[in-house]
Amino acid sequence: MKSKNQLLIIASLVVLFTVSVGFSTMTQGKWVAPASADKLENPLKGDEAATSKGKKIYKQMCAICHGMKGKGDGMAGSALKPKPANFTKAEIQEDSDGAIFWKITEGRGNMVSYKETLSETQRWQLVNFIRTFK
């Protein structure tokens, strides 16, 4: 009898787990980069020429969703769920440079991966520019 009850408990835990995982992918909560991303060094940190190159790329490729001022209010972003990130928010700026780089590289949902379209250098230039919204 005891083992039957245990089995029941395990079975309900499995169901609960599956439901909560399903739910979290559906609602797409806070996007967290893996810890390994925090270890990536920004080779362009403090490089102002790189930051202005990042600005150019941002205007061409990112502002349409993230907005000219980084507030996540770009024209093409308004209908998206979740909304494009607002780079002026502390919770975004708290990310390490490596984590931001990783997110640009990997993408998620409507935020596509820029691994193929932008070089590593260009992605770091963007990280530098995103910091200016702080």
Residues at the interface with ligand HEC (CB under 6 A):
28, 31, 61-62, 64-66, 76-77, 80, 82, 84-85, 92, 95, 100, 103-104, 108-111, 114, 126
13 vs 43, beta carbon nearer ligand HEC: 43
Between 6 and 25, whose beta carbon lies closer to ligand HEC?
25
How many residues are present in the chain? Answer: 134
Report how far residue 45's alpha carbon sits from residue 29's, in angstroms, rounded to the nearest whole number: 29
The token pair that represents 83 in the structure block: 């909304």
Shortest distance in whole angstroms from residue 45 CB to ligand HEC? 16
Distance between CA atoms of residues 106 and 116, nearest Å: 10
Of 6 and 93, nearer to ligand HEC (C-beta) is 93
* Dist CA 111 CA 93 (whole Å): 17
CB of 34 to ligand HEC, least distance (A): 13
Cβ-Cβ contacts under 8 Å for 87 (sequence gap 6 or more)? 66, 70, 71, 72, 93, 130, 133
Tell me the CB-side half-sphere exposure of residue 30, using CA atoms within 13 A.
9
In terms of CB distance, is 7 or 75 closer to ligand HEC? 75
Find the shortest distance in angstroms from Cβ 27 to ligand HEC.
10
